[in-house]
Structure 1
């Protein structure tokens, strides 16, 4: 009866493994281990990325579970490596029978090679030259100026119109550096929002 139950368990794990491998192909290998037979533990391997085969022995995690029923049932997202050096993210889940002994394991190995290439490409694509050229493509420069002024005042825990002369001068200098005073009517927009004259803005900008 117990042997039949373990076979049913392994068959169920194989269905799960095959479904996971099909869903996450071509990046993910899923392996079913029969821990009752550590010398030839690999019972099923789907979307084979590691080059291993059916009947190969248990890994270190499998052997540790066989020796110790108290060994953790799950390790998620740990670093691993295929034999050819490819970096892998692995998850291993141990399965116990009704007596509390480990009888099987489901292991998921994700090849990170392509994702690391994507990461490198995205990093290169999103890199910008933070030089002296500033251009704003939004259609509402007034909203951008207002938001920048409000943000500055909030960082000083005060209101826009309560800024000290020194803080106001610093703010205007920052607006100038960011090119916000160069947009059409930028100085007028800033002056009106801060409750000062345009001449004050020009004076602070010097």
Structure 2
């Protein structure tokens, strides 16, 4: 039994665990590099549909490069790779050595970035679309909408210090926003501005009579 044959039964459950945890777009591969038969290195694979490979498939070009300088550290984590049809992968490769330091296997993880890139593109399309703020208010009660409009018109000012012109400005804003279509809105607005209902109606008449 070779060292790889000893390791493979231990690594297979790990491969399944990684593939299951990350999802169907994550491929996990165990390459047998002990024989240097680079045409048939894949000893085990999970989610082979990611790259279209299966057991008995070949090494990648990085495996070929590793053979030239086998003594060096070739482990890499989170690097970019690609499939032959142009899809981007995020990959990690760990080379397993025997007691004499010779590379006997490669344990590789390849995540297809296509679904994430598509999700990002969709989010960007939404977030970077028309960002005009129309000031639309969503509430469960029309009175909440009215109260929000009133506070927007007052803009944090102290009502006690507001002049008549200030209050006319508030009523003009609310009239343009259609606030007076809310039932009994004049009573609520008058209370918030500290004026009588009659005064509020007089102010509203002045606003509507004034030329634009």
TM-score between both structures, scaled by the size of structure 2: 0.60
CA offset at residue 68 of structure 1? 2.2
CA–CA distance in structure 1, aligned partners of residues 13 and 36 of structure 2? 21
Residue in structure 1 matched with residue 200 of structure 2 by the alignment: none
Return the match for 1:30 from 11, 25, 28. Answer: 28
Residue 154 of structure 2 corresponds to residue 185 of structure 1:
yes
Which aligned pairs between 1:106-145 and structure 2 lie closer than 5 A?
A: 106-131=107-132, 133-134=134-135
CA–CA distance in structure 2, aligned partners of residues 44 and 26 of structure 1? 16
Residue in structure 2 matched with residue 52 of structure 1 by the alignment: 53
Residue 3 of structure 2 corresponds to residue 5 of structure 1:
yes
Q: Deviations over 1:124-173 (max 9, x none)?
A: 222353447456889xxxxxxxxxxxxxxxxxxxxxxxxxxxxxxxxxxx
TM-score between both structures, scaled by the size of structure 1: 0.61
CA–CA distance in structure 1, aligned partners of residues 137 and 153 of structure 2? 12
CA offset at residue 81 of structure 1? 1.6
Q: Cα RMSD between the aligned structures?
A: 3.2
CA–CA distance in structure 1, aligned partners of residues 78 and 162 of structure 2? 59
Please identify the structure whose Cα radius of gyration is greater.
2
Query: Kindly tell me: are residues 63 and 12 of structure 1, through their superposed partners in 2, closer, same or farther at Cα, counting changes over 3 Å?
Result: farther
CA–CA distance in structure 2, aligned partners of residues 14 and 89 of structure 1? 21
Structure 1 regions of 5+ residues with no counterpart? 139-181
Structure 2 regions of 5+ residues with no counterpart? 140-150, 167-212
Question: Alignment partner of 1:38: what SS?
Answer: coil
CA–CA distance in structure 2, aligned partners of residues 25 and 187 of structure 1? 51
Residue in structure 2 matched with residue 150 of structure 1 by the alignment: none
CA–CA distance in structure 1, aligned partners of residues 23 and 156 of structure 2? 57
Residue in structure 2 matched with residue 101 of structure 1 by the alignment: 102
CA offset at residue 69 of structure 1? 3.2
Question: Alignment partner of 2:157: what SS?
Answer: helix
Which aligned pairs between 1:78-93 and structure 2 lie closer than 5 A?
A: 78-93=79-94
CA–CA distance in structure 2, aligned partners of residues 130 and 123 of structure 1? 12
CA–CA distance in structure 2, aligned partners of residues 113 and 187 of structure 1? 48
CA–CA distance in structure 1, aligned partners of residues 137 and 129 of structure 2? 15
CA offset at residue 22 of structure 1? 2.4
Q: Is the 8 A contact 2:4 2:32 kept in 1?
A: no
Aligned residues: 155
Question: Alignment partner of 1:90: what SS?
Answer: strand
